Amino acid sequence: MKEKRHPEITRREFMGSTWKLLNVGAFIALGGHLGSLAVTSISSGHPDSLTCYECRACASPCPWKLDPSGYLVAARVNNPNRRMLAQYNIKRYNRLIGNREEARRMTLDSLLARDEYMKVVVSEVKKKENIELFTLGPEFEDHLIVGSVNNEIRRAFADNRWAISSQATVSEVDPDNWLIVDGYEKYHISRTLEGLLVSGEKKEFERLDPMRINDAKDKIKELEDENKEAELTDIYEMRAKDSAFYDPLCSRCEPACPVALPVTKFIRDVKADEKYR
């Protein structure tokens, strides 16, 4: 008696011509795609980007919640405009940058000037209170001149591991109290027996859904019209070249890479002139 063959085997052996053409076409398309990646990675000057298999191990130690593999993918396709996950906290980032690189401080206007489709997070202020930050010597009172904050006050803030930008302004509330306004941040300065007590606003936020930055101004204005306070607090997504522009190059991502790729090399390349090679 002849053994009956399994129907699945029979189906494979007698695959129709249409399926054969489809399979061949798929293999050709896949080969073409992989070949194009080889060409673009070589043209970007980073053929080693092909060895990144996007395990995202490099993202775990990143203090900014970046996905550094996004830089490698951008190099692989030779496209610095490719978007990547980049979750910068604006206040924390600006404190780290301090007064060293004013051009890299994040504000709504500076971010909007780079990319109007960048994804950001607007947060509503739910609660705020003043907390004591540090005390300055009484000699700094002579530098609290109404108008732009002078360099002596900025250096004094930096010495206490705080940072205010060159756009900050100071106003006199009364003979014993001053107010420094730096974007969304406000610092209260009071005369005490020990010197000048500097207090800052501690805020609690409710994050809204990520939105394009060209919609952020309208959203903030909409909330302000409802007598609510809101501000731009986080970046959610950026182009690789924009993320590289702001990237502080801490290099914490490199030791985590299982194939020992020099991740910061990819970042430095596009950071230098916003393009590869």
Q: Would you list the domain boundaries of the chain?
A: 7-42, 43-125+206-273, 127-204
Tell me, what's the pLDDT at 49?
Answer: 78
C-beta separation of 253 from 245 below 8 A: no
Question: Which of 245, 221, 202, 248 is closest to 122 using CA atoms?
Answer: 221
Q: Positive or negative, the Cα torsion across 94, 83, 249, 45?
A: negative
Judge if pTM exceeds 0.75. Answer: yes
| Apex 230 CA angle, 228 and 233, nearest 5 | 165
Rounded CA-CA distance 94/162 in Å is 10
**pLDDT tens over the chain, length 277 residues:** 556 666 655 555 555 667 667 776 776 766 655 555 556 666 677 788 778 878 888 888 888 888 888 888 888 888 899 999 998 999 989 888 887 788 889 999 999 999 999 999 999 999 999 999 999 999 999 999 999 999 999 999 999 989 898 889 999 999 999 999 998 999 999 999 989 999 999 999 999 999 999 999 999 999 999 999 999 999 999 999 999 999 988 888 888 888 888 888 888 989 888 888 7
